[in-house]
Amino acid sequence: MITRPSSGAAYGIGALFVLAANGCSLLVSHDGLTGPAIADAPDGEAPDGATLDGGTDSGSLDSSGSADRVIPDGAAVSAENGHGYLFVPSPGVTWSQADVAARTMGGHLATITSNAENAFVVGLLGANDRIWIGGRQPAGSIEPAGGWQWVTGEPFNFDAWEPGQPDNYGDEHAIMIFASEAKWHDDEDTNENPGYVAEFE
């Protein structure tokens, strides 16, 4: 566990609640209780106002926009942007469950806004396909390509759709990534997939 302190109230870092495949939250202790290390944030401070917009609830960051930045053990840190990325195998997880789990850890489902970031995330997945990331399509969007957005509110200016995707085959409003293709498909957000990638800014 690595924390990046910022101004404001402390965010609970004593434990992570990880959403299990059965929908229950598991208390997962970690080794940070003896005093977490301080990461060398490139700019010396966490970005204020790094809020998670939308979503079904506010969650991991407090309303003031201040929170300790938490990068869990095992996350890979990108040299490009300093963000941590964690592939979380979680067989049977739906997109909404993955979204909540990532926020609970203090991050968000990965938002992929460049080829480099896409490649970095793919590099974490091994041979795993159908892994949730933080793209979604609000109800009422023009199908299949309209309205796609990131959970963070970052501009949706980059995509890595597989040719022929998104296709709204069924009723597909969330993005999953295929390591075997380094590409994305849209998928029904209630489908039970093998895991997700969380990103920690």
SS3 19: strand
Q: Which is nearer to Ca ion, 60 or 111 (CB)?
A: 111
Over the window 132 to 171, marking each residue x when it contacts Ca ion by CB under 5 A and - when it does not, the resulting string is ----------------------------------------
> Applying CB under 5 A, which part among 32-40, 48-56, 107-115, 183-191 lies near Ca ion?
107-115
Residue nearest to Ca ion as judged by C-beta position: 111
Interface with Ca ion (CB under 5 A), residue total: 1
Instruction: Kindly state whether residue 111 participates in binding Ca ion, applying the rule CB under 5 A.
Output: yes
Could you tell me the smallest distance in angstroms from the CB atom of residue 77 to Ca ion?
A: 13
DSSP per-residue letters across 152-199: T--------BPTT----SSS--EEEEETTTTEEEEE-TTS-EEEEEEE
Measured CA to CA in angstroms, residue 59 lies from 4, 39, 53, 105, 175 at distances of 18, 23, 10, 10, 21
Residue 116, H or E segment: helix 115-122
Which residue has tokens 């299949």? 144
Q: Which C-beta is closer to Ca ion: that of 32 or that of 176?
A: 176
Residues that bind Ca ion (CB under 5 A): 111
